[in-house]
Structure 1
Amino acid sequence: MTTTLERPSRDTTATLSPPRTATRLRRPTWRDPRLLVGLVVVAASVALGSWAVAAAGHTDAVYAADAVLTPGDRVSAQDLRAVEVRLGSGTDDYLLAADGVPEDAVVLRTVEPGELVPASALGAADDLTLRTVAVPVTSGLSDRIVAGAAVDLWHVPPAPSATGAQDAPVAEPGPAVLVEGVTVAEIDEAGGTFVAGGPVTIHVLVASDDLATVLGAVAGEGSIAVVPVGGAG
């Protein structure tokens, strides 16, 4: 006798999950806050980049010295030349060509040839604390001693006079420094050329406190030696 086993029927409707409805992506609109924030970020980046490029290429016309300018010199636009430079935020530190040269401007500190003229290097004559002193020099001058150079002034006493053999030797004072680091304003030379041992008058700028010392040495006995400061000229 054959027994037939019947398999239980499966309810297909119970096991199958219901179909899902596909979700549609909504197209962003102008009212979407994320879109607005993105546009703001892009616009700010473009503006910042444009500003950086423009700032990097911006130059200012600034005055530079054509020749050395020494304290006490009166300066005008004819003594300067305008150059284009990138100063950034330092425009207030220099003399801008657009502002011109102040009337009756006097140089307060040495400005080398080609150097940009600092605004603080010019002022009124009353602001100048230096005085020009003419110093005669009989010894040869170093070729480093030029207008604008810094020098030291030394007083060299006269040579001792000859004495008899029976006299005791007299100790003579040696050379002594008068002033250090004064600026050469001008050099007057005899005959137009420097000659070792020839007469030369050098004009130096001396502070008011040192005037008496320098003038006393110039009027007294002995000579004045002019020694360039290291790197001068």
Structure 2
Amino acid sequence: VPGDPIDPDNLTLVEMRLGDQHDLYLGAIEAIPDGSVATRAVQAGELLPLSAVGQSADVPLRPIVIPVDSTVAESVAPGASVELWHTAPAQESGDVEAELLVERGIVRSIDEGSSLGMRSMAVEVLVPSDDLAAVLQVLSRDERLDVIGVPGAYGVTP
């Protein structure tokens, strides 16, 4: 996922004929610059594009842990694109309002919680820096955030 170090031990060298496209992909493991991180999600078995290799300063995302009350959809998996929705507490009228806080987050990890029910489930999501303040405000008030998978997004199956 974005921000994760690119570890040569996690890569497999394969020979491929890419024609005119060969400059778009990493050609040798030795060509990985020191301190490189993924700038986007890279799935297992995918060729490593040069556009997915960068430095930590190239990743404008910040990790935040979202506690969830119940299990999340199967589409919410590491590397998947998700939205974060805030559901405000009910007003006197009984109406509940939902607001989209983060349009393009990326799941970094999922903590299923303990089997004894002592710890609840949590999803670590990488959110754009510009959206971080709004998410932190909601979390500071112990209000509900929903992690919703984005069907059709990279890494998410409908």
1:51-90 equivalences under 5 Å are: 70-90=1-21
Identify the residue that residue 34 of structure 1 maps to in structure 2.
none
Match of 1:201 in 2: 122
TM-score (norm 1): 0.60
Residue-by-residue CA offset, 1:80-101 (whole Å, 9 max, x unaligned): 1112211112221111126432
**Structure 1 segments of 4 or more deviating over 6 A?**
none
- Tell me which amino acid in the other structure corresponds to 1:206: V
Question: CA 1:95 to 1:176, structure 2 compared with 1: closer, same or farther past 3 Å?
Answer: same
Structure 2 counterparts to residues 1-233 of structure 1, below 5 A: 70-97=1-28, 99-159=30-90, 169-170=92-93, 172-191=95-114, 199-231=120-152, 232-233=156-157
Q: What RMSD over aligned residues (CA atoms) do the two structures have, in Å?
A: 2.0
Q: Is the 8 A contact 2:90 2:97 kept in 1?
A: no
Identity %: 38
Larger of the two Rg values belongs to structure? 1
Write the distance in 2 (CA, Å) between the matches of 1:136 and 1:221: 10
Structure 1 window deviating more from structure 2 (82-91 vs 94-103): it is 94-103
Which structure is higher in strand share? 2
Larger RCO (alpha carbons 8 Å, 6+ apart): 2
Do the aligned partners of 2:108 and 2:125 also contact (CA within 8 Å) in 1?
yes
Q: How many residues are treated as equivalent by the alignment?
A: 152
Unpaired segments ≥5 residues, structure 2: none
Secondary structure of 2:79's partner? coil
Which is helix-richer, 1 or 2?
1
Whichever residue aligns with residue 208 of structure 1, its letter is: S
State the TM-score, normalizing by the size of structure 2. 0.86
Are 2:114 and 2:120, in contact at CA under 8 Å, matched by a contact in 1?
no
What amino acid sits opposite 2:138 in the alignment?
A
